[in-house]
């Protein structure tokens, strides 16, 4: 994990790291930078977590087409423009968390089966955006566990590990 290390300066370019499947560089003090094109070249990536990293600009739609991609957490950045998920997206995709950014519109291909979280984005102040802007979605028959956490105290990893533990526990019942 490269998160919470007080890294500064430009975001490192990790293009060519073809075996990388989990990338978390959250909560560092990188220089503001446009959304990196090289994210879309990480062919083995399953999880991308870049909370509070000063990313800005629009997300390239090709990011969501990475074959193994399951989770994208880019909350707390300066990502703006339109969230476009109309091209081929990964069949493995489960969650796109873009809370606390500056997204002003979205285009999503009908029939998707993953969760999108857009709370605290300008798009959420428009009528008809409630599906992605509520406190939780129930596309998968679950909600984000919050019994041991206050909203501001749980990292994405804590929430995900609690959820996975509950899934495993439920599987053995």
User: Tens digits of per-residue pLDDT, 10-41?
Assistant: 999 999 999 999 999 999 999 998 999 999 99
| Average pLDDT of span 144-159 | 44
- In which residue are the tokens 């990188």 written? 30
Q: How confident is the model at residue 125 (pLDDT cuts 50, 70, 90)?
A: confident
Per-residue pLDDT at 128: 61
pLDDT of 52 > 70? The answer is: yes
Q: Which of 4-8, 143-147, 163-167 has the lowest mean pLDDT?
A: 143-147
Could you say which DSSP state residue 154 is in? -
Measuring CA to CA, how many Å separate 95 from each of 31, 32, 48, 64, 73?
A: 26, 25, 10, 11, 8
Helix intervals (H) in the chain: 130-133, 156-171
Tens digits of residue pLDDT in 79-110: 999 999 987 888 899 999 999 999 999 888 88
**Mean pLDDT in the chain?**
80
pLDDT of 143 > 50? The answer is: no
CA-to-CA distance for 136 and 63, rounded, in angstroms?
24
Contacts 24+ apart (CB under 8 A), 29-35: 29/54, 30/54, 32/56, 32/78, 35/59, 35/60, 35/79
Could you say which DSSP state residue 98 is in? -
pLDDT of 3 > 60? The answer is: yes
Q: Which residues contact 2 (CB under 8 A, 6 or more apart)?
A: 23, 24, 25, 28
Per-residue pLDDT at 144: 37
CB neighbourhood size of 92 (10 A):
13
Per-residue pLDDT at 20: 95
CA-to-CA distance for 67 and 44, rounded, in angstroms?
8
Q: How confident is the model at residue 126 (pLDDT cuts 50, 70, 90)?
A: confident
- More confident of the two residues 55 and 133: 55
- In which residue are the tokens 């979280």 written? 117
User: In 3-state terms, what secondary structure has residue 29?
Assistant: strand
**Do 100 and 118 meet the contact criterion of CB atoms below 8 Å apart?**
no
Per-residue pLDDT at 135: 59
79 pairs with which residues across the strands?
A: 57
CB neighbourhood size of 158 (10 A):
13
Per-residue pLDDT at 107: 87
- In which residue are the tokens 């798009």 written? 123
């Amino acid at each position: 994990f490269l998160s919470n290390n007080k890294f500064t300066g430009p975001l490192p370019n990790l293009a060519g790291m073809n075996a990388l499947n989990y990338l978390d560089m959250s909560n560092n003090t990188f220089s503001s930078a446009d959304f990196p094109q090289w994210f879309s070249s990480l062919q083995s990536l399953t999880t991308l977590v870049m909370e509070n990293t000063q990313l800005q600009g629009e997300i390239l739609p090709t990011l969501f087409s990475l074959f193994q991609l399951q989770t994208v957490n880019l909350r707390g950045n300066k990502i703006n423009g339109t969230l476009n998920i109309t091209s081929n997206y990964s069949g493995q995709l489960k969650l796109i968390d873009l809370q606390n950014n500056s997204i002003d519109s979205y285009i999503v291909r009908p029939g998707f089966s993953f969760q999108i979280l857009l709370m605290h984005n300008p798009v959420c102040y428009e009528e008809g955006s409630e599906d992605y802007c509520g406190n939780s979605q129930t596309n998968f028959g679950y909600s984000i566990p919050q019994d041991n956490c206050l909203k501001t105290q749980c990292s994405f990893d804590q929430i995900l590990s609690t959820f996975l533990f509950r899934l495993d526990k439920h599987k053995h019942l």
